[in-house]
């Protein structure tokens, strides 16, 4: 920190936490410390194309992508379930909530890894422990996934376009229009 502002000596993109970006014009080659501005929060509503781009950047969609997407929406819903720590009986409700997760994901190493990944992707806020809570970006992803969950197969097929491999030809672009 310098004069109360976050600084960094190289400006190739973002800081390691990916929460700030360089405010200086390109071409200065990071020879000096510079101010970093917060990156705007993700809007809570994602278009179908934004969802596709997010997933396409992180998954090859081989194997059983429908199962992965169903697990992701289930996990995000589990995290999003409200638990008020100030209400009497909170510890018992949390224990039951945690048991519901362990019933379908019994390996805490797997669930904690998923929580770390969600935090790394800025889909959750870490808080005092993982999983924390959903960020606006996480809420947006959950909403977009929920809109597609009735037909994962049709959504996944957009990735398998024979003309362009899902990179944006007219056939797959038509499929990326938002659902009514």
Same domain, residue pair 15 and 81: no
Please check whether residues 12 and 74 belong to one and the same domain: no
**Domain total of the chain:** 2
* Residue 83 domain flag: yes
Is 83 found in the same domain as 4? Answer: no
Q: What is the pLDDT of residue 79?
A: 95
Tell whether 123 is covered by a domain.
Answer: yes
The two three-digit tokens of residue 94, written as one number:
């949390």
Helix (H) or strand (E) segment spanning residue 34: strand 34-38
Residue 180 lies in a domain: no
Q: Which domain holds residue 137?
A: 48-175
**Any domain includes 92:** yes
Stated pTM of the model? 0.68
Residues 85 and 119 in one domain: yes
What is the pLDDT, as a whole number, of residue 112?
A: 94
Paired tokens of 123? 């889909």
- Summarize pLDDT for 120-161 with one digit per residue, the tens: 999 999 878 888 899 999 999 999 999 888 888 888 877 666
Shared domain for 74 and 133, answered yes or no, is: yes
∠ CA(117), CA(61), CA(152), 5° rounding? Answer: 95
pLDDT score for 69: 92
Are 73 and 142 contacting, i.e. CB atoms less than 8 angstroms apart? yes
User: What is the 8-class DSSP label of residue 8?
Assistant: E
Q: Would residue 91 count as lying in a domain?
A: yes
pLDDT for position 133:
92
What confidence score (pLDDT) does residue 138 get? 94
Cα-Cα-Cα-Cα dihedral sign, residues 99, 100, 104, 107: negative
Judge if 76 and 122 occupy the same domain: yes
Among the listed residues 165, 177, 173, the one whose alpha carbon sits nearest the alpha carbon of residue 61: 165
Positions in the chain whose pLDDT score sits under 50: 1-42, 180
pLDDT at residue 25 in the model? 46
């Amino acid at each position: 920190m310098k004069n109360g502002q976050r600084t960094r000596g190289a400006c190739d993109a973002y800081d390691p936490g990916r929460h700030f970006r360089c405010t200086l014009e390109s071409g200065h080659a990071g020879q000096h410390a510079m101010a970093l501005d917060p990156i705007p929060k993700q809007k809570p509503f994602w278009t179908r194309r934004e969802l596709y781009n997010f997933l396409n950047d992180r998954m090859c969609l081989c194997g059983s992508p429908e199962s992965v997407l169903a697990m992701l929406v289930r996990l995000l819903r589990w995290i999003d379930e409200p638990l008020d720590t100030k209400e009497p009986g909170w510890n018992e409700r949390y224990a039951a909530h945690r048991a519901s997760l362990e019933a379908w994901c019994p390996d805490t190493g797997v669930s904690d890894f998923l929580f770390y990944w969600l935090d790394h992707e800025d889909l959750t806020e870490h808080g005092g422990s993982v999983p924390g809570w959903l960020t606006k970006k996480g809420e947006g992803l959950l909403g977009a996934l929920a809109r597609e969950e009735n037909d994962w197969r049709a959504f996944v097929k957009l990735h398998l376009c024979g003309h362009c491999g899902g990179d944006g030809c007219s056939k797959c672009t038509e499929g990326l229009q938002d659902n009514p």
